[in-house]
Amino acid sequence: MIQIKNIKQEQAEDFWRLRLEALRTHPEAFYTSYEDSVQTPLDEVVKRIRNVCI
Please write the tens of the pLDDT for every residue from 1-54. Answer: 999 988 899 999 999 999 999 999 999 999 999 999 999 999 999 999 888 765
Residues in the chain: 54
How high is the pLDDT of residue 53? 63
Q: How many CB atoms lie within 10 A of CB 12?
A: 19
Global pTM value: 0.81
How high is the pLDDT of residue 5? 87
